[in-house]
Amino acid sequence: MAKKVVIVGGVAGGASCAARLRRLDEKCEIVLFEKGNYISFANCGLPYHIGGVVKERDRLLLQTPESFHTRYHVDVRINSEVVSIDRTARTVTVTDHKNKKEYNESYDYLVLSPGSTPVRPPIDGIDTEGVMTLWTVPDMDDILKRIKENEVRSAVVIGGGFIGIETAENLRRLGMDVTLVEMLDQVMAPLDFEMAQIVHSELAGNGVGLVLGDGVKRFEQASGGVCVTLASGRQLEAGIVILSIGAQPNGRLAADCGLEVNRRGGIVVDDHLRTSDDRIYAVGDAVETTDFITGERKMIPLAGPANKMGRMAADNICGMERTYVGSQGSAIIKVFDLTAACTGLNEKDLLKAGKEINKDYKVTILHQQSHAGYYPGGRAMTLKLLFSPHGRILGAQAAGYGGVDKRIDVLATAIRMGATVYDLQELDLCYAPPYSSAKDPVNMAGFSAANILSGIVDNITWREIDAAADRDFVLLDVRSRTEFDLGAIKGSVNIPVDELRGSLGALDRNKKYYVYCAAGVRAYTACRIMLQNGFSDVKNVAGGYTTWSVYSKDYTVKE
């Protein structure tokens, strides 16, 4: 007899699951419930319609219930909320919001892909008109309606995650005054501070007022819209407030029927994406997944994993026994002209105590051109690589104006295939001057990492230098005198690399030297000269002056 599969949630995970099921099994009965009005819409595109980048709203609606039925013969029921699950009877209870009725639907297999919900904490005045979230098509419509009807000219975005930043950028595109408020000392938590500073610089440079290290205390109605009072007492007034402070998994349905959920309400699944009931699968933002690198259980709410899990749940329902090995959190964002991307663990993750994997991790930071320097149009890129003493690649982050996506995608693939930093040296990547350099930035990261691990040169980060209790070191600047005169770090000593051999006699070989140039290449040469001339405690400062100048700057707006 043909099996019957019921799917809860009709967007990323749910729609992928339904389509794959049909392709694998022409006979099975598929019923897809979606509590909203739309299925398979491009939630990732919502900010871009607000800013007018995606001009036609309909382009975000990838499928309609009718088109999905025609192509895949799936019984799609919108405005239909699954309100409970009876695991013994294998039925779900559905509220049909349009026709105001409730009914039961049976299943052989149930797939839960209910996604997540934006967090709306019980802050004073959270329900003030004009305090909005961007999560669904109706949310987007409401935001655009308010902007139009109230002729909104200013916005406060609360939360510096992906959605907050994308929304801030798109509101700027509409010519608004935009302030972005973030409680932490940096936006984009998956990036480390010095990398996030590049994003801060881009936001500030494009007129977004950045407020860091401050949270919302209260919202109130004001003559011009909403008054936001921050924990510091600072007040911001704007025509609209977009609240974007994270999401919580929609795990209630699962928890209510006794399925195992974690402390955050995320649905616990095994590596076949089966819940604690083997007739019920769960996928997407609502599930707790495995961190591919640490093996720890984690919530990683991203579209890629949700789509792939949906497809895999279908495979497993059809008996293919596929295993989900985890997510590595590969993510990317456009911030005006800048692109920032990451994969795997960041340094903040690695600094958290108590993990075996954290022991003695290493860092390299490179500043490279997106393609050959002599070919027009090359753009700056910063690439940070984290790796273990055995050469395992633990994570990577990049920010820049060209070619960031492909470098992080190559590194994400390398991580997935278990490659080491030594392998990165050998990667045979395509090259012609308009696209890359004969030694691609990914190869360069491999060279640098391999140099560190083989003891050719060690390095140190600005964060470590800042945190050092012992200030007994010489900061040696090996840039040219002109560069030094244009701006240098207080207390540093300037000996241009080409004069270094002749000046070694004036330096105390018993001292500790942290050597920097603009990006790290001249400093590497300088370190090698010193190490081969009787100096033993010499380190190259990762990212050099370029990283320091971004790292040490304040991009926030003052009152």
Residue whose CB is less far from ligand FAD, 340 or 515: 340
Shortest distance in whole angstroms from residue 432 CB to ligand FAD:
30
Q: How far apart are the first and last CA of the chain?
A: 69
Residue whose CB is less far from ligand FAD, 329 or 400: 329
* Tokens describing residue 304: 């890629």
**Residue 208 burial by Cβ neighbours in a 10 Å radius (0-12, 13-18, 19+):** buried
Nearest to 515 by CA among 530, 498, 534, 505: 530
Catalytic residue among 17, 28, 44, 342: 44
Residue whose CB is less far from ligand FAD, 313 or 500: 313
For residue 496, which phi and psi values (nearest 5 degrees)? -55, 140
Shortest distance in whole angstroms from residue 345 CB to ligand FAD:
18
**Residue 27 burial by Cβ neighbours in a 10 Å radius (0-12, 13-18, 19+):** exposed
Shortest distance in whole angstroms from residue 196 CB to ligand FAD:
18
Q: Quick check: 14 and 34 in contact, CB under 8 A? A: yes
Shortest distance in whole angstroms from residue 203 CB to ligand FAD:
17
Nearest to 541 by CA among 502, 511, 549, 483: 549
Residue whose CB is less far from ligand FAD, 135 or 401: 135
Report which residue type is found at 418. Answer: G
Minimal CB distance residue for ligand FAD? 284
Alpha carbons 84 and 65: distance in angstroms, whole number: 23
Nearest to 140 by CA among 53, 45, 40: 45
Shortest distance in whole angstroms from residue 169 CB to ligand FAD:
12
Nearest to 235 by CA among 214, 213, 206, 205: 214
Residue whose CB is less far from ligand FAD, 37 or 525: 37
517 among known catalytic residues: no
Residue whose CB is less far from ligand FAD, 115 or 391: 115
What stretches of 255-414 adopt beta strand conformation (E)? 267-268, 280-282, 287-290, 297-298, 331-335, 338-344, 362-369, 380-387, 393-400
Q: Quick check: 344 and 409 in contact, CB under 8 A? A: no
Alpha helices in 389-433 (DSSP H): 404-416, 421-426
Shortest distance in whole angstroms from residue 257 CB to ligand FAD:
12
Residues in contact with ligand FAD by CB under 6 A are: 8-14, 33-36, 43-44, 46-47, 81-82, 113-115, 134-135, 162-163, 250, 253, 284-286, 301-304, 306
Residue whose CB is less far from ligand FAD, 133 or 459: 133
Shortest distance in whole angstroms from residue 392 CB to ligand FAD:
25
Three-class SS string for 74-99?
Answer: CEEECCEEEEEEECCCCEEEEEECCC
Catalytic residues: 44
